[in-house]
Amino acid sequence: MLFPFIFFIFMVMKISRTRALSTKPLPPGPWKIGKVTSGRLENIINDHKAKKAETKLADEANDLVDVLLKLQDQENREFPLTIDNIKAVILDMFIAGSDTSFTTSEWAISETLRNPRVMKKAQAEVRLVFSEKVHVDEADLGELNYLKLVIKETLRLHPPVPLLIPRESREQCEINGYQIPIKSKLIVNAWAIGRDPNYWTEADRFNPERFSDSTVDYKGANLEFIPFGAGRRMCPGISFGIANVEILLANLLFYFDWKLPHGMKQEELDMAESFGAVARRKNDLGLIPTLSHPLPVA
């Protein structure tokens, strides 16, 4: 995994990611992290270039790197796309996409462990949908309606990015009688909004069913539920992120039964959150899996 904190190091040091990933010499300091990552990304880009040249598939794009290289080749672009820009985009995708999906999955498993009723219902659904299949695949994820509710409820209580990307006001305005000066910084606390008792009944209770007859969704239209943010800068990876979480959870629930170690009771499971840009579990989640369905043969 790449370094989730790298983006914040760049922010704190007031240096752009493009600059930090540059192959040009950087002052001594935390840029070493950027240089190692930069070298790795450069290798990936070079591999893609070599493959493209070898197969002469000039017009075929197999993945994100191919698409970006193709864009770079386009003539008459208003803004040139440099190799450093491409590296920054790839890094953004890794940083924004990996820790968030993983963290959501870990909280979902933690919450279902603490709520055996939910675990039983989610497992029953996954096992019914995939009982006749060779393995759990993406094609039938759409049928996992209860699992989707579990993921929504997990994102309400544990948005992996608790504080959204900071905003700045472009003009002076008035809100509720308060004069807001131009260039005011705004930090939105999505975590607190998701637990606000003015909007949620039994706000601290993990209850996926609260979404079953509700139109409230995380697509940015319901401002009481914004785990992916809202507005122009909201997360562009929602579908991919949700699919990542769904496929992982479906596999974990289909193949395994889960138990807490050392005879620990469900209410004793520690749910403390770490402090940081991504709110992961503070302490690792140690569980005992028991195989309930034979694993697919590769």
Binding residues for heme, as ranges, are: 235
CA pair distance 31, 239, nearest whole angstrom: 33
Question: Under the criterion CB under 6 A, does residue 8 sit at the interface with ligand HEM?
Answer: no
Q: Between 34 and 229, whose beta carbon lies closer to ligand HEM? A: 229
Of 35-43, 80-88, 193-201, 239-247, the segment contacting ligand HEM by CB under 6 A is 239-247
Between residues 113 and 230, which has the closer beta carbon with respect to ligand HEM?
Answer: 230
Q: Which segment (1-9, 18-26, 135-143, 236-244) binds ligand HEM by CB under 6 A?
A: 236-244
Long-range contacts of 240-247 (CB under 8 A, 24+ apart): 240/97, 241/97, 241/100, 241/101, 241/104, 242/151, 243/138, 243/141, 244/97, 244/101, 244/105, 245/101, 245/104, 245/105, 245/108, 245/151, 246/141, 246/144, 246/147, 246/148, 246/151, 247/136, 247/138, 247/141
**C-beta of 92 vs 268, nearer to ligand HEM:** 92
Helix (H, G, I), strand (E, B) or coil at 180: strand
Q: Measure the CA–CA gap between 207 and 122, rounded to whole angstroms.
A: 13
Contact between residue 293 and residue 127 where contact means Cβ atoms under 8 Å apart? yes
> Residue 177 CB, nearest distance to ligand HEM (Å)?
26
Contact call for residue 101 and ligand HEM (CB under 6 A): yes
Q: What is the phi-psi region of residue 181: left when phi exceeds 0, alpha when psi lies from -120 to 50, beta otherwise?
A: beta
Cβ neighbours for 98, distance < 8 A, ≥ 6 positions apart: 1, 2, 4
Distance CA 11, CA 14 (A): 5
Among 34, 194, 208, 241, binds ligand HEM (CB under 6 A): 241
- Burial of 151-160, coded b for 16+ CB within 10 Å and e otherwise, reads bbbbbbbbbb
Q: Identify which of residues 22 and 154 has a Cβ nearer to ligand HEM in the complex.
A: 154
Tokens 């590296």 -> residue: 87
What is the nearest approach in angstroms of ligand HEM to the Cβ of residue 249?
Answer: 11
Report 175-234 residues binding ligand HEM (CB under 6 A): 227-231, 233-234
Residues 145-164 that bind ligand HEM (CB under 6 A): 160-161, 164
Single residue of 96, 108, 119, 126 touching ligand HEM by CB under 6 A: 96
The CA-based diameter of the chain, rounded to the nearest angstrom, is: 66
Token pair listed for 95: 């940083």
Q: Does 104 bind ligand HEM (CB under 6 A)?
A: yes
Region 117-136 residues binding ligand HEM, contact defined as CB under 6 A: none
Does position 165 interact with ligand HEM (CB under 6 A)? The reply is yes
Closer residue to ligand HEM, CB minimum distance, 231 or 296: 231
Under the binding rule (CB under 6 A), the answer on residue 245 touching ligand HEM is yes
Which residue numbers belong to the known binding site? 235
Residue 240 sits in the site that holds ligand HEM (CB under 6 A): yes
Q: Is 237 among the residues that bind ligand HEM (CB under 6 A)?
A: yes
In the complex, which residues of this chain contact ligand HEM (CB under 6 A)? 92-93, 96-97, 100-101, 104, 160-161, 164-165, 227-231, 233-237, 240-241, 245
